[in-house]
Each structure stands twice: as structure tokens, then as C-alpha cells.
Amino acid sequence: MKKIRTVTGDVPVDRMGVTLTHEHLLYTYPGGEHDHRSSYVLEDAVARISAELKAGMDAYGYGTLVDMTPAEVGRNPELMRRVAERTGANIIAVSGFFPERMGIPYWFRRQSVDELTDFYYRDLTEGMVFAGAATGIKAGAIKIATGQESVHPAPSPMGPNGRRIHQYEDRLIRAAARAQRKTLCCINTHTDPMDYTVTNPGVEQLEILEEEGADLGKVIVGHAFVEPRGVEQIEAIVRRGATVQVDHIGIPWRFDGDEGLDESMAGLMQVLADKGYMDQMVITYDRWFFNPRGPATQENPQLLNQGVGLGYIFETFVPRLRGKGFTDADVHRMMVENPRRLLSMDSL
Ligand SMILES: [Zn+2]
């Protein structure tokens, strides 16, 4: 049987259960690990995150979660491992970085595609490094990311290779493809909503991955539904064999609380399902369980990712999908069966 690689070991895919493909147990920004205001006590954070996750697992059957926190964004393998042990959740960590405008430390900007490939490969096969120390805790997927920062959202300028993807991002995407060829792991991506106004950032990522021989059938393009521009752009992604991630459900991101967003996403999903792409959709939040900057408030809209509850998908969004003709079997396909196929690390 195929297996996923979690922070507590390799697990057969039939033990995955309902899977969230893009979440964050702990989330900060590069540099936050040096700031007094965002310091935390590991055991307190583990207790708080575990309590919330376990309640969600008990109520809604979540079994597996991909922690999409990149290496330079406070990724803490030990925290993930302790939460997994305490809750029984399958937690998949990722190897990878933020977009270049927000992350990719200088250390990594100096590295070649081969060196970066080796970084991903060692994260996946030997274990991740935290604050200079080898942890032995392995990543189980790769994250790639492109686009601008969120303080002044704007489309990305044209990059050096005729795409709106910049030189270090380009290098990391090529390395991700090469590491995927060695490990047969999943690649999960961050695209920027604003970039859909000037290009199709999902397709741009897929083009580079394809140039390096990646298996697009094991690629999830994230945030492609966040600011829907019409079904054509999303269809262009699934036509190439990749999966699109329906995310930010219940979380307004670069929206002013647009209540029509759920309806618009559900409508696009219906169109894709009618065209035969049910196997190429997954559903998740992109929420964070704990942000050491403080709790979510209306005054801190950047913290709203923490404000949506783990029940929102099943209590609010799934009923909307049912209204559009989706069955419970369809939801099972998108939240259990598709993640099994995508997240299994097929070299295991
Ligand atoms: Zn995220």
C-alpha cells in the first residue's frame, strides 16, 4: 500500500481520513523567531494547538493535515511532532520557502539548482534542520511559492525569464521538480491572487515544473480560487493534469469580507465537476492554529486566518455544495480520495 511521510513516520494512505491540504500549525513571518513580541513557550503552544486540532478531529473526522509553513516562516519540526503525538493526527511537513519578496533567505539565494535540489531531498529523506540542529523529523511534500507581499498587494512585475516569476523562485521551482523526480512526492504551491489579473501564475509554475520533468499529476496549485476570475484560468491548470486547491474557505484574504466568495467558489467547483474534473480538486482552509503575534481580531484583519473555526467547511460550505448537486461521495472524493493519491510519497 502507498504511504505518506508524516512527522511521526510513514503511514499507509488508508489511515489518512479527511485531509486538509494547506494549513499552518504555527505561522509567523521571516524574522519573527528573533522578536520578543512573537516569542513563545513550546509546550504552551503545543497544548493550545493540540486542543483545537483534537476537537476538530473528534467533531469532523479530520485525520491528516499538511502544515504548509515554509522553512523560514517559523517552521518548527519539534512542535509539529509533539502535536501529532498528542492528537494522533497525521501531520505532513513541507520543505520549501516563501515567495522571494517575502522570504528565501540570502543563504539560499546563493545556491545552485543542484544544491537546492539536495536541500529538499535531505529534508524529505534525512529530516529538517531547525535553528542549526538536525531534527531527524522528515518533510513529506515540497512547497513552492511565487508572487508579491501582502502589505501593498500588486501584480508581480515581469521576471527575467518572460514570466512573472523571479530568479530565485524560478531556481527553487526547478529544484522542486528535480527533488520530486527522486522522491515521487507531492508539490503544493502558493500562487498570488493579484497575479491572476495579469497572467496565470498557476500555469507559469507548471510550465517550469514541466521543463524539469515533474509529474504534474502530483502537483496541487494553491489559491487558484481565492479571487475568482472565471473558470478559464482554473481550467487551464487542470487541463495540464494538476489539481486545484479550493482554499481560504471562510477566510477573506484581500477581500473586504465578501460574502459572495463562498458562492462564487462553489459555482466554479460545479462547473469544473460538470466538465469531469472532480478528481482534480481538494478543499482546505489555509488557517493558522497559532500565530505568536496575537489573537485574531477585526482590528488585525491579517490575523483572520485564525478566526474561522475548523467546522466551517462541514457546517457552512458543504451544505452550499450540496445545493449545487454535490453528494457526500463527492465531498469524500475531494477530501479523502484525491489527497491520498496526491500526497502519497510513491518512492516509499
Ligand atoms: Zn498558507
Going along the chain, which residue ranges are E strands?
A: 3-6, 9-12, 18-26, 62-67, 90-96, 129-130, 133-134, 141-145, 186-190, 219-222, 243-246, 281-283, 288-290
> Mapping DSSP to helix (H, G, I), strand (E, B) and coil, where does residue 105 land?
coil
In a domain, 17, yes or no: yes
143/161: higher pLDDT: 143
Distance 271 CA to ligand 1 centre (A): 25
In a domain, 63, yes or no: yes
In a domain, 280, yes or no: yes
Distance 23 CA to ligand 1 centre (A): 6
Distance 188 CA to ligand 1 centre (A): 10
pLDDT at 104: 97
Distance 190 CA to ligand 1 centre (A): 7
Eight-class DSSP state of 297: B
Distance 250 CA to ligand 1 centre (A): 14
Distance 212 CA to ligand 1 centre (A): 25
Show Cβ contacts of residue 344 under 8 Å, excluding neighbours closer than 6 positions. 2, 3, 4, 13, 186
In a domain, 348, yes or no: no
Distance 67 CA to ligand 1 centre (A): 8
Distance 63 CA to ligand 1 centre (A): 19
Please state, for a pLDDT cut of 70, what percent of the chain lies above it.
Answer: 94
β-pair partners for 282: 245
pLDDT at 307: 74
Distance 22 CA to ligand 1 centre (A): 6
The mean of the pLDDT values for the chain is 93
In a domain, 224, yes or no: yes
Summarised one tens digit per residue, pLDDT across range 95-122 is 999 999 999 999 999 999 999 999 999 9
Q: Would you call 18 exposed, middle or buried from its count of C-beta atoms within 10 A (0-12, 13-18, 19+)?
A: buried
In a domain, 207, yes or no: yes
Q: What is the CATH number of the domain that holds 265?
A: 3.20.20.140
Mean pLDDT calculated for residue range 286-292: 88
C-alpha cell at position 54 = 483534537
Distance 269 CA to ligand 1 centre (A): 21
Count: domains in the chain? 1
Summarised one tens digit per residue, pLDDT across range 316-341 is 999 999 999 999 999 999 999 999 99
β-pair partners for 246: 283
Which residues form the domain of 94? Answer: 3-343
Q: What are phi and psi of 297, to 5 degrees?
A: -140, 165
